[in-house]
Amino acid sequence: MKVYVIGTCDTKGEELRFAVAQVKAAGAEAELVDVSTTGADEKGVASFHPQGASAVLGLKDRGQAISAMALALTHYLLSRTDIGAVLGLGGGGNTALVTEAMRALPVGVPKLMVSTMASGQVAPYVGPTDIAMMHAVADVAGLNAITRKVIGNAAHAAAGMALHAVPDDKSTRPALGFTMFGVTTPLVTQLRAALEATHECFVFHATGTGGQCFEKLADSGFFTGVLDMTTTEVADHLFGGVLPCTDDRFGAFIRHAIPYVGSVGACDMVNFGARETVPAKFEGRKFHVHNAQVTLMRTTPEENATIGRFIVERVNRMAGPVRFLLPLKGVSVLDTLGQAFHDPAADAALFDAIRSGWKQRANAKLIEVDANINDAAFAAATLKAFHEIAG
């Protein structure tokens, strides 16, 4: 298996060749991949673009050229059968180019990006994948005491991952995906305790990126079923919170007939950072300071109705068997009698929007449970629903 070392040889050739030499010195095979958009395309990467090399090379607009090469590189890497690790080097343009292709590779394939952008906001580069970002410190512009050390360390790391691949898990238990937040942890803990003897359980923190990871694996066929109990990211997406999903939330289950059990966990809140970071337009709303870095805002009846419509429209389009549960006595730990976010009117608006939008069909059921989402009775109803559709 090889380490694919990727960058633009027209501007980073010396540094890339140094990385290749370091990979080989560590005992691994290396393949240098040039993604220059003005070069000779020695590896023929540009030809992997769906419209051919002419759609990549010689474009006058640099942004268009980078985007086109990123698509070509994606198809190129997906065609390889000997990838032990992928190592990218570069600045802003090359980081965007290489990480786009990295994101298309399966989770578990080692991916390391040495980048001048790695000390900032890296979510657009990493997305719902396992890309490791390594800060270049000095620009990748010549070899010096800093770049030799940083690039050399990255090359040795990539070589080590390629030479010592983690064996595939031989578990024969079917895989289940769960979504969870702190305020729905009691529910998911009960579900896992009941299912992990017969299923391998994978829990995803509903932080926006967590939900995207959950659905990326579902899209890839990794799960035999899911218990998507915490759909709180929808609230952040619709109302400006800091942990949003994308508009494609639930899309994996529309595209694939995966047994789906879902609910409205933590749809009583929108997430912000420290209290002083909450936008001024929300002054006067009900807040709960979870900790110094997390402030929660209670959703209103109007917001909950919008959340309900967003969810039910997508659940109605799911291809496989569906069970969707409504916890009539609250959707989180905070949404119980006597707690900070207890608001029956807001919950009712959420539930009514889902009820009124629900499309009756043979393989889907809307189930109402007179319990809080974290109660044992709700967990029992969830398990019953899961076994109905998953066996």
Per-residue pLDDT of 213-235, as tens digits, reads 999 999 988 999 999 999 999 99
Query: Would you state the pLDDT for residue 42?
Result: 64
Distances (CA, A) of 331 to 277, 328, 336, 356, 388: 25, 8, 8, 19, 23
Cβ-based neighbours of 134, under 8 Å, separated by 6 or more: 112, 113, 114, 115, 118, 150, 153, 154
Band (41; pLDDT cuts 50, 70, 90):
low
Question: For residue 177, what pLDDT is reported?
Answer: 97
Residue 263 in contact with residue 291, Cβ under 8 Å?
Answer: no
Q: CA distances (Å), 103 to each of 202, 240, 325, in order?
A: 20, 26, 33
Average of per-residue pLDDT across 358-366: 95
Q: Which two tokens stand for residue 66?
A: 């980078």
Query: Can you tell me which residue has the tokens 């694996």?
Result: 217
- Main-chain phi, psi angles of 225, to 5 degrees: -175, 160
Q: Please give the average per-residue pLDDT across 186-194, as a whole number.
A: 97
Burial degree of 305 (CB within 10 A; 0-12, 13-18, 19+): buried
pLDDT of residue 89: 95
Q: What is the pLDDT of residue 292?
A: 87
Question: What pLDDT, on the 0 to 100 scale, is given for residue 128?
Answer: 86
* CATH class of the structural domain 175-390: alpha beta
Record the tokens describing residue 28, joined without a space: 């691994």
Q: Where are the alpha helices (DSSP H) in the chain?
A: 9-25, 62-78, 92-103, 123-126, 145-163, 185-195, 209-219, 233-239, 251-255, 301-315, 344-357, 376-390
Asked whether the beta carbons of 297 and 269 are under 8 A apart, the reply is yes
Q: What tokens were used for 205? A: 């923190």
* Per-residue confidence band for 141, with pLDDT thresholds at 50, 70 and 90: confident
* Rounded Cα–Cα distance for residues 294 and 135 (Å): 27
User: What is the residue-wise DSSP string for 340-364?
Assistant: TT--HHHHHHHHHHHHHHPPPBTTE
Please, which residues bridge with residue 288 across strands?
A: 296
Match domain 2-163 to its CATH number in 3.30.160.250, 3.40.50.12020, 3.65.10.10, 3.90.180.10: 3.40.50.12020
Residue with tokens 């890839």: 220
- Who wins on pLDDT, 43 or 88? 88
Residue 368 has pLDDT above 90, yes or no: yes
**pTM of the model as a whole:** 0.77
Q: Is 258 helix (H, G, I), strand (E, B) or coil?
A: coil
pLDDT in tens, 279-307: 999 999 999 998 888 999 999 999 999 99
| For residue 329, pLDDT beyond 80 | yes
Confidence of residue 11 (pLDDT cuts 50, 70, 90): confident
| In the chain, where the domains are located | 2-163, 175-390
Question: 31 burial class (0-12, 13-18, 19+ CB within 10 angstroms)?
Answer: middle
pLDDT of residue 40: 63
Give 54-63's long-range contacts (Cβ < 8 A, gap of 24+). 62/37, 62/93
Give the percent of the chain with pLDDT over 90. Answer: 80
Q: Going by C-beta distance under 8 Å and a sequence separation of 6 or more, which residues neighbour residue 60?
A: none
Give the separation between CA 106 and CA 186, rounded to whole angstroms.
31
13, 30, 49, 169, 381 from 17: Cα distances, Å: 6, 10, 25, 35, 59
Residue 58: pLDDT band with limits 50, 70, 90: confident
Domains 2-163 and 175-390 share a fold: yes
What is the per-residue pLDDT for 225?
96
Which is it for strands 83-90 and 2-7: parallel, antiparallel or unpaired? parallel
Stretch 95-106: mean pLDDT, rounded? Answer: 94
- Checking if the pLDDT of 82 tops 70, the result is yes
Q: Are 15 and 142 in contact (CB under 8 A)?
A: yes
Dist CA 56 CA 62 (whole Å): 10
The answer to whether residue 319 scores a pLDDT higher than 90 is: no
